[in-house]
Structure 1
C-alpha cells in the first residue's frame, strides 16, 4: 500500500482531483459505477487505480466510493454526519487521563509542556464532538419522525435515538465529574487551559439542557406513534368486519355515525366563477357593481395607511443610557493593562460622567460577555453587598508576564 510522505503531496492530490472527490461525496449514499466518474479523470482508469493505491478511493467490482476516513473527515468539517459518536468522547477522556498522569509524573519542563498540549487538544476535541453529537441527535429525531413511513421502523429508530441520547448524557456527566472533582483541572495555572475548561463546562451544561429537550421530544413522538398505531388497528378491524358483512350486526358503527355531527374530514373545495368579458362590457348593471367594489377596496386601502400621531413631550427628553456612550473597546484596553480583577476595575474607574452602581454592574457583565476570549474566568468569587461575582482577570501576554515576574522577584 502506497502512502504520502509529505502533507503537501496529499494536499496537492486532493486539490488536483477535487471535482472527483466532490462528486463522490455528494453521492456517498448511493452505489456509483466507475464509468460514471471516468469523465472527471479524463477517462484514465490508471488515475483511479493510483488514488485507490493511496487509499483515497475504494474500488470493488466496478463500483467506486470515497475512503471511509476521507468521508468521515468531510462529514465532520461540513457538519453533515448522521452518526452519534459517543465513543469518541470517551476515547478523548481516556487520553486526557493518561496524559494527565504522565504530566504529574514528569520532571522535565519541556516534556510536561508536550503532555499539556495533548490534554488541551483532547479537551477541545470533546467540546467539538459534543456540540456535533447534540446537533445530530436533534436532527435524527425530527427526520426519523417526519420522513419514516413505516410505523414499526419509525418506533424502532426513535428508540435507538433515545438509547444514543442516554449514552451521550452518561459520557457528558463523566466528563463533568472529571472537570469538577479532579484537583489538576480545579487548580490549573495555565491561562489557556483555564479558558478551554471554562468553554467546555459551558458546552456541557448547554448540551445537558438540549438532551433533556430531545428526550421530551422523543417521548412525545413515541406516544403519537402509539396512538396512531391504535387508530390504524381499529380502522383495519372495521374494514375486516365490513368486508365480512359483520359490521352492521356485530357493532353499533352505523348508529354512531348517524348521531355524529362532527365536520367531515374533507379537503375544502374552492369555487371560482369566471365572468364573461363580453357580458361585462354590454351590461350596465355589472359595470356599476364592479366600480362600486373598486371604490370600496380603494377606501379600505386608504384606511389601512399608518398616520403618524402626535409626538409626545417625553420623546424630546434625553433618555440615553450611560452604557451607550462608553467605548467598551477602549475600556477593555485600559483594563488589560491593570493588575486587578474586572469587577474592582469597573467599580473604581473614573468615568467622564458619574454613573450609578447598578450601571457599573451592567458594564461589568457586558465586558465579561463581549471579551470572554481575552479574559481569564477563575473559580474564585467575591461579594459586593448581597451580590456575589466571579473574579475575572486579563490574559497576560508573554511580555506582561515576564514584567510581572521580574517585579515579584
Structure 2
C-alpha cells in the first residue's frame, strides 16, 4: 500500500486531478468509469493517470477504474454524502471515553491530564455529529425503502432491519446519557473545564432531539408495514375476483350485480379525452420549445415510474404469515386524556385530576398493550406534548416503576 509522505503531497495529488476525481465521485453509484474516459478527462496525460494508480488514489479493474475506498470514505465524510447507518462507531467512541477517563483518574501530571480532557471533548463532538447523521440517514432510508423498493419481500425486510438499527441508535443514546449522569460521574466532578460543560449541555440537548426523531421513525416504520399489509390484502381480494371471473362464477358467488347497480360514481364512466393538435408552424418556432421539453420530461418520468413498479405477488408471498403491529395513535391518546380530565374537573371540581401515568395504565387500547409498552407511551406523550402538559415534582410508584406525576397544563 502506498503511504503519502506529507499532507502537502496529498493536497497536490488531489488538486492536480480534481476534474477526474470530481467526475468519478459524482458518478460513483451510476457509472463505471472506463480507463479511456479517465484518460480523456486528464487531457490524455497518461503519466498523471499512472501516478494516480501508483499512489492508489484510484484503482484499475480491467478496462475500468474506480476511486480507492479511503478517498471515497474521506470525500463522503466531509461532504456528508454517505447514507450508511453505522452505530459501531458510536459504540467504539463510548468505549474510548471510558478508557480516557480511566487514564485521567490515574494520571498525576497536570499537562497530561489536560491532554486527556482535550481528547474527551473531541470524542463527545464525534458522538454528537455521528448520532445526528445516523438519524438523518435512518429517516431517509425508511422513506426510500417504502417508496422506491419494487419487491415487497425486500421492502419488508429493509424496514424490519432499519427498525433494528433504530433500536441500536436508541441504545447508544441511552448508554451515552448513562455515561454522563452515572458511570463517570466522578470524572465530571473532578474535571472542571468550562468548554467541556458547554459541550455536554449541547450534546444532551442534541441527544434529546435525536430521541424524539427516533420516535417519529418508529411510527413511520409501523405505519409503512401496516400499509404494506393493506396492499397485500387488497391484491389477495383482486386475485379472488379474477379467479371467479375466469371460471365464470363471479355473478353466482358474489354480490357484484348489487354493487354495480348501487354504484353511480362518475369515476366508472371514464374520463373523456381532451387532446388537441398543435400546428406544425407553432411547433417549429422557439415559442414551442418549453412545451416540447416539458412533454419529454413527463414521458421520461412515466418510464421511470413504470420501471419501478412492484412485481406480482407469488403464492409464497400470499401464504406467508407476517406479524404486524397496529400503531397506537399518540394524538388520539393524549387528546382523550386531556378531554377526560377537563370533563372530570367540570363534574367534580373538588377532586384532584388523574395523572397521565395512572390514566395510561387503565386506558383501553384497540389492542393488547402490556405495562412496559404503556410506560414507553407515557414517555413518548410527555416528550411530544410537553407544551400541553404540566410536569410536577411529585412522584408515584407503580410496581417496579417510579414516575413523575404529569397533569394537563
Deviations 1:27-79 (A, max 9, x none): 11133222222212222444333223322212222222111122122222222
Deviations 1:258-309 (A, max 9, x none): 33345537875575999xxxxxxxxxxxxxxxxxxxxxxxxxxxxxxxxxxx
Partner of 1:206: 209
Q: Highest CA radius of gyration, 1 or 2?
A: 1
Partner of 1:294: none
- Over 3 Å counting, the alpha-carbon distance change for 1:268 and 1:214 in structure 2 is farther
- Over 3 Å counting, the alpha-carbon distance change for 1:130 and 1:269 in structure 2 is farther
Question: Any unmatched runs of 5+ in structure 1?
Answer: 275-387, 389-409
Question: Any unmatched runs of 5+ in structure 2?
Answer: 278-392, 394-409
- Over 3 Å counting, the alpha-carbon distance change for 1:258 and 1:245 in structure 2 is same
Structure 1 residue 195 displacement after superposition = 1.1
Q: Does 1:127 align with 2:143?
A: no
Partner of 1:23: 23
Question: What TM-score do the two structures reach when normalised by structure 1?
Answer: 0.63
Give the paired residue count: 275
Runs of 4+ with deviation above 4 angstroms? 265-274
Match of 1:241 among 244, 251, 263: 244
- Over 3 Å counting, the alpha-carbon distance change for 1:111 and 1:151 in structure 2 is same
Structure 1 residue 170 displacement after superposition = 0.8
Contact 1:179 1:186 in 2 (8 A): no
1:4-403 pair list within 5 angstroms: 4-30=4-30, 31-181=32-182, 182-183=184-185, 184-264=187-267
**Alpha-carbon separation, structure 1, partners of 2:268 and 2:93:** 55
Say which SS state the counterpart of residue 25 (structure 1) adopts: helix
Contact 1:57 1:64 in 2 (8 A): yes
**Alpha-carbon separation, structure 1, partners of 2:105 and 2:220:** 44
**Alpha-carbon separation, structure 1, partners of 2:170 and 2:76:** 23
Say which SS state the counterpart of residue 250 (structure 1) adopts: coil
Structure 1 residue 247 displacement after superposition = 2.1
**Alpha-carbon separation, structure 2, partners of 1:247 and 1:44:** 72
Which region of structure 1 is more displaced relative to structure 2, 125-134 or 102-111? 102-111
Structure with greater contact order relative to length (CA < 8 Å, sep ≥ 6): 2
RMSD: 2.4
